[in-house]
Amino acid sequence: MKKVTYLLMLFVVSATNISAQLNQSSLQVVGKATIKEMAEEIVFRIPLKIIDSSYVGCNDRMSLTLNEFKKELKIKGIPEKLIQTSNFSITENMIYEEGKRVQKGYQGSVNIVVADKYSPQLIEKVLESISGFQLNYTINFAMSDNQKTRLTKIAMVNAVDDAKQKALILAEASNVQLGSILKISYGIDQYRPEPFLSERMMSNQSDQRSQNELNLSPPMTSLYKSVLIIWEIN
């Protein structure tokens, strides 16, 4: 009990000291940094949909088409570990006839994802496979985990440097001197960072002209970080 009481008293004293520090003359500055770099990863999202008059027929056709498509990807040299599937489902296919919902067989769907480091060879292999099955697809370009970790470190250092530069300018303009740092808070930015993910929507059924105009190059992607630093001023 005495130990708990001592710890509580120590906490109260510490909190009081921090509060007293923050109530003295201080300078509060937000440092910001944005790092831009070309995204390293490419992600293909390929929705496969089958409609059939019977549940069994829908299930069988879904499984057959999925297996054949995965087989085609492997023939093209895409490792099985890069091919992921999710959300395999079969539902009633409901349509409207004369203002009423009517069941017309069953609809099956499954999402196929192929993701790896960007390369022209990968794009060519996947698009050739998609074309053979007349499927729609979505392409996403994203930062890899290693890329995000590396750029986050750079952005955090730059955000701190930005805060220091601003603080020095403000201190000189105000004819005061910076003392010790009273507080540092990370991630207090009020603005949403630019997304890691840059999405391009494309359809295999588009006309030839729009297909020729598709830009399949990785876009520049931004990573935004900010930091709040409070200095004591003299």
Better-predicted residue by pLDDT, 120 or 191: 120
Q: Note down the domain range covering 149.
A: 24-39+145-204+218-233
- Taking the model in full, what pTM does it have? 0.64
Clarify whether residues 105 and 118 are in a common domain: yes
Q: Please state, in angstroms and rounded to a whole number, the distance separating the CA atoms of residues 31 and 178.
A: 16
- Report the CATH number at residue 227: 3.30.110.170
Q: Look at residues 124, 142, 160 and tell me which one is the last residue of a structural domain.
A: 142
Number of domains in the chain: 2
Using one digit for the tens of pLDDT, what is the confidence trace for 97-150?
888 888 899 999 999 999 999 999 999 999 999 999 989 998 888 888 899 899
> Which residues are CB-contacts of 96 (< 8 A; sequence separation ≥ 6)?
102
Q: How far is CA 71 from CA 39, 104, 185, in A?
A: 28, 30, 51
Give the start-end residues of each E strand in 98-146.
100-117, 137-142
* 1 inside domain: no
Clarify whether residues 127 and 151 are in a common domain: no
- pLDDT greater than 70 at residue 5: no
Clarify whether residues 75 and 120 are in a common domain: yes
- Report the CATH number at residue 132: 3.30.70.2970
